[in-house]
Copies of this chain bind each other. A is one copy, B any other.
Amino acid sequence: MTETVPPALKARKRPVQRRSGVTVDAILEATLQVLLREGMKRLTTTRVAARAGVSVGTMYQYFPNKQALVYALNARYLDTLAERIEATCTVQRGVPMAQMVDALIDTYWAAKTERADVTRALYRSVTELDNDALVHAFAQRVDTATHAMLASACDLPPVDVRAINLALSSVIYGTVRNAFERGLPDAEAEALRDSLGAMCRAYLQTLASW
């Protein structure tokens, strides 16, 4: 996950003493706060520094530039998200595919919904720049986990697992994101979530019938 960090975004120095560790955390937290309250446009270095209670100079000690802040924030977020998905994939080994899909949707949807404001803010910020690398790394990591889970299904149909995995993953992650972009009321969001599950299961059904 951390291997392919674009050089322009790599952390300048790693915090060594305790206080600097606190500082870095404060800066990241401040970045999120400002992002939520003011939006990307008003996310200025001085604002973040002020909210974190440090000087700009201190910020640049650990982050080479403004984008690195957002990058680090997303990295942290995606890391914990990947962990949760991996956990689900581990738990669901060997069960029927339909159940796997339900569990996956549950996990992903829940993770995104818990703090919808954060989800929304980060969804936007990711596209900013070279966060491509980040997103790709995340996708690959998660795909590996889901692939392993699917391959272990007790009712695995005689079809290429890679293809199934790609289809399910793309549809699920894509739909969830789209659901967030429309600001659906809870009721409709629920309904959509169920439809998504139904769709995936119906799809698996067609594969099984072969």
Q: Which residues of A contact B (CB under 8 A)?
A: 39-41, 67, 123-129, 135-136, 139, 163, 166-167, 170-171, 173-179, 181-183, 188, 191-192, 195-196, 198-200, 202-203, 205-206
Between A39, A166, A178, the greatest number of chain B beta carbons within 10 A of the residue's beta carbon is seen for A178
Question: Could you list 23 A-B pairs, sorted by A, with CB under 8 Å?
Answer: A40-B127, A40-B128, A41-B129, A125-B127, A126-B127, A127-B127, A136-B182, A136-B183, A139-B181, A166-B188, A166-B195, A170-B179, A170-B192, A171-B174, A171-B175, A171-B199, A173-B174, A198-B203, A198-B206, A199-B202, A199-B203, A202-B203, A203-B203
Copies of this chain in its oligomeric complex: 2
**A contacts with B: majority SS:** helix
Distance in angstroms between the alpha carbons of A62 and B173 in the assembled complex:
39
Whole-angstrom distance between the Cβ of A82 and the nearest chain B Cβ: 15
Distance in angstroms between the alpha carbons of A202 and B168 in the assembled complex:
14
Distance in angstroms between the alpha carbons of A171 and B182 in the assembled complex:
12
Identify 8 new A-B residue pairs, CB closer than 8 A, beyond the known A41-B128, A177-B177.
A125-B127, A139-B182, A170-B182, A173-B174, A173-B178, A174-B176, A195-B203, A199-B203
Distance in angstroms between the alpha carbons of A182 and B128 in the assembled complex:
16
Q: Given that A129-B41, A135-B181, A175-B171 are known contacts, is A195 also in contact with B124, CB under 8 Å in the complex?
A: no
